[in-house]
Amino acid sequence: MVAAADAGPGETFQQVTGFGSNPGNLAMYAYVPAGLPAGAPLVVALHGCVQTATDYYRDSGWTKFADLYGFAVVFPQTGPANNSLSCFSWFDAGKDARGKGEAESVVEMVAKAESSYGSDRQRVFVTGLSAGGGMAADLLADYPDVFAGGAVDSGLPAHCATTQSAASGCQNSDQRLTPAQWGDKVRRAYPGYAGPWPRVAIWQGTADTTVKPVNATELRDQWTDVWGVGQNASATRSLPGGTTESVYEDANGRPAVALYSVAGMGHGLAVDPGSGTDQCGATGSYFLDTICSGYYTARFWGLDRGGPTTPALPAPAGLTATATGPDAVALTWQAVTGAASYAVYRDGARVAAPTAAGYTDTGLSAGTSYGYTVAAVDAAGIEGVHSAVVTASTTGSAPPCFTDDNYNQVQAGRATQSGGLTYALGSGQSMGLWNTFTTHTLKQTGPGYFVLADGQC
């Protein structure tokens, strides 16, 4: 092992040798916080093209949370001998499959870290940027028995391409596969495996022209299908940096997939330099000052709580929803012991945080059905299990809906297009590529204001 010169006192950022047969010809580097005990989690962080492990160590922000939450980080490194741009080979079936090439080398690094640092084999995670993100997705598919969770930053769906010539198609265009077809690519990577599946965070900039935003939608479709949950979010919320978080929960109310869409961000890893707990990283080439993705990813994986994300409080019982007019719905539920407040969600979006076991939702559209769930929130701000969805319909006439392809939606003035992408007029919701092959339903909820309503009208 050769220590890196810029490691802090008592900390180690080192190259690790002798970690296995290394069929992928990779180098292994690791960061271990001072005094890290056995049984701590392990994160594998894969750099992007034209980057090195040292770049990712210095600028990604992962070492801050390794110190804060207590885990080791492995930084695999590829190089020009493998790829002229030092990209991980997410597009090569001979290098990104279970037991082969670079994928096997990374798993050998995991085994070395588990042996050397006593890492918890049940809490191993993988994240990566761009080509590293594509390889992270492949690893989650190839080795769901190794990785408890992953994060794909500006990356590609698992096994989108099997040859380098097909890679640009994945990066730049909609592959027009169903969620089930995307899910099958994961299931075929390790035939016979039946779960549990990794929990997957997806980060994507809406202005990325290197890996187009459609890849985030495809990743969402792929991993929600693997989990057996729908493609409609269980909850959404706004985060710093113009970021929208959409969470897709499993049958037990735990986050299975999370999609983080960063408005206006190009191709790179989202960082937010600063000393705040929710800040991290350093800006530079492909490290973009927007939001600290590492902070939210670590919390999504449950690293801030010493274990997998498990809701602390049960779902509120007895939720009822009653329309009280054309623009309001009254909600009531049974109080939950230990709840400091409650999170109320309408159609997957968090709309209120009352402290009492009831809430009246106002400002709604007439003649419209709304689905509600409620979760109890403890004193630490951790949401418990969500209740089952209940539905209420306001009185009056329903707002009009329009189903058409994205090109015609723009032509009709219900959407706008920018950079080849389509956005709903008013709400600004992303609708994907501006063409005649992508179809959505838009609901008009006000003058010049439309929202996505696929399957709702």
Give residue for tokens 């994160």: 43
Determine contact, residues 239/232, Cβ cutoff 8 Å: no
Q: Which stretch of DSSP H or E encloses residue 415? A: strand 415-418
Q: Which CATH class is domain 320-393?
A: mainly beta
Instruction: Give me the catalytic one of 60, 86, 119, 130.
Output: 130
- CA distances to 32, 73, 209, 335 from 424, in Å: 46, 41, 20, 38
- CATH placement of domain 2-305: 3.40.50.1820
What was the pLDDT predicted at 456? 76
What was the pLDDT predicted at 130? 98
Helical spans, DSSP H, in 15-66: 53-59, 62-65
What was the pLDDT predicted at 8? 46
Structure confidence by residue, pLDDT tens digits, 66-121 = 999 999 999 999 999 999 999 999 999 999 999 999 999 999 999 999 999 999 99
Reference 338, options 359, 305, 312; nearest CA is 312
Catalytic residue at 130?
Answer: yes
Determine contact, residues 322/293, Cβ cutoff 8 Å: no
What was the pLDDT predicted at 306? 59
What was the pLDDT predicted at 455? 80
Cis peptide before 196 (omega within 30 of 0): yes
- pTM score, two decimals? 0.72
Residues of the chain with pLDDT under 70: 1-11, 306-312, 380
Chain centroid to CA 178: how far? Answer: 19
Apex CA 94: angle with CA 92 and CA 99, to 5°? Answer: 125
User: Residue ranges of the domains in the chain?
Assistant: 2-305, 320-393, 401-452
Structure confidence by residue, pLDDT tens digits, 9-48 = 445 899 999 999 999 999 999 999 999 999 999 999 999 9
Q: Which stretch of DSSP H or E encloses residue 259? A: strand 255-262
